[in-house]
Amino acid sequence: MKNISTDSQTMATLFHNVAARCATREALVADNARLTYAELDKRTDVLAQALQAQGVNKDTIIATLLLDGLAMVELSIATAKLGATLLTLNWRLAPAELSYIMSDASPQFYFVSTRFETLFNEAGGTEAYFIEEGDPQGALAPFDVNTNADANELNVEVSRNDRWYMLYTSGTTGRPKGCQHSQGGYFINVLSWMHQLGITEKDCVLEPFPLFHVNGFGTLLCGLIAGAKVVIPARDNSYEDSLRLSEREGVTIQPVMGEAFPYFTLLEKLQLQLKLRLLIVPGGAFPKEALEILAAGLNVDMRCMYGQTESGCWITMMSLEDQLAHIKSCGKVMPHLASRIVDDNGQEVACGEVGELLIKGETITMGYHNLPEATADTIVDGWLHTGDLFYQDEDGFLYIAGRKKELIKTGGENVYPAEVDSVLVSHPSIVDACVVGVPDPRWQEAVKACVVVAPDASLSREEIVAWCREHIAGYKRPRFIEFIDEIPRDFNGKAQRRVLAERETTPDQAVD
């Protein structure tokens, strides 16, 4: 785009600069399209002009209910160039959940995949630009434009303080809240993440995570701003399809969650020749034995991290070497953020003691959409209260203890659910578990465990109690145990403790 008056520390500037620097390099492989950086830059110029002609300006919210691919990437860049806001809607939500978010945010425009047209209608949506799945025209498909023509000047003043990206929290403690992030915040975030990950224009990044989530969005931005090639697989790809795609495209960097293990098994079976050098995984999520197998079998490094929606994405990061030396840790806070671990009075706790993690920096959320009181409760004197409980070791590595609002207070003692969860799932016959606090007349709260037993196993409540007594203090062990078929989890894989706490606790679930 010619002659846009733009603040130097914006995502619009970064997109423009990388396109000029890496013009002939391949930028994106998605939806039956292969685009160089110059082509992607030109297409998003044309898209920005088409959107402006429809009335899009710096006050506009454009919502997407799209599969990951070309249209999502183009809208991300075009909104940055216009100083507008991109709201990425989660297509895994139920219609009622989606309806609440749509009503709360009140977007002026929607881009919707034809796959989700019924969901959109059931959520109360009416007018939208509909995108056919796999259409190589991407977000330009609804507009009668010539992609080969030069776009006109926009004359938009884009500022680092402009809201650019908004997405809603998963709502584990109530209604979802719209987290707002600025162009300047992501400008700093992406440069810091790129440095920590070591991404360069020689890399090829496979992006399998949904782009309505900060993890997927963060990885996408790191790849594009580094000048790397970004490959977005079809949403219905199997593990084998994605691995074969990785081999064909020369993928070097890939984020994974629990699916690292099926990938590893398939690698041995398929005998593929991969160029993979780096995996991005959740910190503290894998046991040491699994990490050692993955490291030896794949011969790759890892970046293990922790983050949250309010921070824009990642807060901590660590290498595989550090993860092996600090099992269960999620790394150290990144250098662009200040951090503290504090007690309920706001005083910093000693090394090894549990407290709430606070972070501070230009990259944290601008606040919650339409919720000034919730914003004031969450951001105090510039410090973002993450709501997550941590302790820190002598080397500065952080270990998560759980959510502050999930803390169980029983008989004057604090019980951190994540710790008890970990003990329960370490039992060979337990495949999943989650503990919650339930009212108790004697102890104020009692620990209740919801347990999923392996299909071929037989396990009594008394045996579970005996296992707990071997591994944790008596006050931490469950006083009630309910056997269930599945732990309810949200789209991020987080256990929905609030849902479990609402289940009936009956006398037959009690254990001595």
- Decide if 229 contacts 223 (C-beta within 8 A): yes
- Band the pLDDT of 440: cuts 50, 70, 90: confident
Q: What is the pLDDT of residues 299-354, one digit of tens each?
A: 788 898 899 999 999 999 999 999 989 988 999 999 999 999 999 999 999 999 99
Residue 501 has pLDDT above 80, yes or no: yes
Helix (H, G, I), strand (E, B) or coil at 137: coil
- Decide if 245 contacts 275 (C-beta within 8 A): no
**What is the arithmetic mean of pLDDT over 157-169?**
95
**Main-chain phi, psi angles of 332, to 5 degrees:** -105, 150
- The domain ranges of the chain are 415-509
Alpha-carbon torsion 201, 207, 211, 213, what sign? negative
Between 260-274, 358-372, 403-417, the lowest mean confidence (pLDDT) is in 260-274
Residue 131 has pLDDT above 60, yes or no: yes
Q: What is the pLDDT of residues 30-76, one digit of tens each?
A: 999 999 999 999 999 999 999 999 999 999 999 999 999 999 999 99
Q: What is the pLDDT of residues 183-192, one digit of tens each?
A: 999 999 999 9
Residue 251 has pLDDT above 90, yes or no: yes
Helix ranges (H only) for 234-308 are 239-249, 260-270, 288-298
Q: Which helix (H) or strand (E) holds 385?
A: strand 383-392
Q: What is the pLDDT of residues 397-406, one digit of tens each?
A: 999 888 888 8
What are 233's two structure tokens? 């697989």
**What is the arithmetic mean of pLDDT over 361-388?**
95
Q: Which residues contact 500 (CB under 8 A, 6 or more apart)?
A: 434, 436, 450, 487, 488
- Decide if 193 contacts 314 (C-beta within 8 A): yes
- What is the second-level CATH architecture of the domain 415-509? 2-Layer Sandwich (3.30)
Greatest alpha-carbon pair distance for the chain in Å reads 76
- Band the pLDDT of 3: cuts 50, 70, 90: very low
Residue 472 has pLDDT above 80, yes or no: yes
Residue 478 has pLDDT above 60, yes or no: yes
